[in-house]
Amino acid sequence: MEYRIDCPCGQHMMVREGAAGMTFTCTCGKPINVPTRSHLRSIAGLPTNDISPDRIIPYFLATGQLPTSNACSFCGNETSSIRYAHVECIDPKRTKVDGAILLVNILKGIIVIVAWITMVVFSPVWFLNFRRDEGVQSYPTKPIFDLPFPVCDLCQPALKDEEYIKRCLCKEMEYRRLLEQFPASKITLVT
């Protein structure tokens, strides 16, 4: 559904829920701030409970509401080019161990033992450094998304680095919420 946002100049614009929290420029030149989603919903008399981004994004994607802007996520110029970022949401708090992960861990264990022996034999310094890296482990869990975002042809070569793709995605409010919820997510560009 669309929501009406009024500008003090008397004009108005219609926005979708996916545009919540964003700022647009009215034809009069004044900035128009779109309220948060729960605010939009409360104005329209709908339930205001905030839905987590991993549950609302599939709905927005299915209904064609994302991306909400056609401005290049990199330089801001208008563009019709869309690229997709493959995002595997990784929740570091989740420690569910299934069969495949168990097998991977057994293999990791073997590698660690072999590595330890190698390091003990070759360098006690290596050995200390290796131990410091232990204990930080995350398990891949769903959801996985292919998120469309606008990026102009000139800026596309800059998207080699995961950090740049992430910065582009964060221009979209729902993507930013998703990456805040899953900060360890793996992001790659769909080619």
Binding stretches for Zn ion (CB under 5 A):
7, 9, 11, 26, 28, 30, 72, 74-75, 152, 155
List, in order, residues 6 or more apart from 69 with CB less than 8 Å away.
22, 150, 171, 172
> Closest approach of Cβ 69 to Zn ion, in Å?
12
Query: Of 12 and 108, which CB lies nearer to Zn ion in the complex structure?
Result: 12
Query: Of 20 and 72, which CB lies nearer to Zn ion in the complex structure?
Result: 72
Give the three-class secondary structure for 7. coil
> Closest approach of Cβ 84 to Zn ion, in Å?
16
Helices and strands, number each (H, E), in the chain: 6, 7
Query: Of 25 and 95, which CB lies nearer to Zn ion in the complex structure?
Result: 25
List, in order, residues 6 or more apart from 78 with CB less than 8 Å away.
70, 71, 72
d(CA 187, CA 146): 10
> Closest approach of Cβ 186 to Zn ion, in Å?
24
